Amino acid sequence: MNNDFSVSDSIYFGWETFKKRPWFIVGGFAGAITASMLISQIPALFDPQGTSPLTFVLAVGTTAVSLAIEILLLRFALKAIDSVETMTYNDALPPKPFWKYLGGQIVVALAVLVGFILLIIPGIIAALAFYFVQYLIVERKLWPFEAMKESARITKGHRWQLFLLFLAVIGINILGALALLIGLLITVPVSMLALARAYRVLEHKASEIAPVAPAAA
């Protein structure tokens, strides 16, 4: 694997991966995102005013399903980066480890929030340092604080480039949205594949410097 992390390599690799099986990749991403959007509307269908106790229960349930779909999308992107030619939709299943993923989302959100409360810059740095927490939890099944430590390690020295990659991804998706939204069917998958590629390169690069954190049982 090419260990030189760059914005251009990440986006190029994401695009090349997409081109190998475009309809398969679009189907996976579009199906998951559509399902998440439809599920999020369930509480409003049962209680448009949002005053019933049932609304809270449904909101919790739909949030849990949305998180499960996020896990599936991450697993899908990582598998596509590694072997898109031979993968199937079943390779993204099942959506685990769910509770570790939820815990990771919470602790990273709190860390970034504290950073933004103190000053904006620390919040941005925290967001960049801990961006791959979800990837590490999904792939290695690390506990949240282990994943935070490992994410900070593998992104060290590369956060400026990672920031530029985020800006590039935002720009690509703005262009996709301008193309009558149809362009998002291409730009969203390519963006997620580019970010998965960035994770894979930085993880591999960091493992050559020091041993990686072991996967949890």
In the numeric block, the tokens 């499960």 are attached to 68
Residue type, 97: P
Kindly report the average pLDDT of the chain as a whole number: 88
DSSP 8-state class, residue 210:
S
On whether residue 214 sits in a domain, the answer given is no
pTM of the predicted model as reported, rounded to 2 decimal places: 0.88
On whether residue 147 sits in a domain, the answer given is yes
On whether residue 119 sits in a domain, the answer given is yes
Of 196 and 63, the structure prediction assigns the larger pLDDT to 196
Share of the chain above pLDDT 70, in %: 91
Contacts of 31 (CB under 8 A, 6+ apart): none
pLDDT of residue 50 exceeding 80, the answer is no
Res. 100 pLDDT band, cuts 50 70 90: very high
Q: Which domain holds residue 101?
A: 7-209
The span from the CA of 66 to the CA of 69, in Å, is: 5
On whether residue 135 sits in a domain, the answer given is yes
Nearest residue to 217 (alpha-carbon basis) of 108, 121, 140:
140
The span from the CA of 192 to the CA of 207, in Å, is: 22
pLDDT of residue 217 exceeding 50, the answer is no
Share of the chain above pLDDT 90, in %: 65
pLDDT of residue 215 exceeding 60, the answer is no
pLDDT at 212: 53
DSSP 8-state class, residue 203:
H
pLDDT of residue 63 exceeding 90, the answer is no
The total domain count for the chain is 1
On whether residue 217 sits in a domain, the answer given is no
Instruction: Give me the mean pLDDT over the 89-115 stretch.
Output: 91
108-147 pLDDT tens trace: 999 999 988 877 888 899 999 999 999 999 999 999 999 9
On whether residue 169 sits in a domain, the answer given is yes
pLDDT of residue 47 exceeding 80, the answer is no
Helix (H, G, I), strand (E, B) or coil at 154: helix
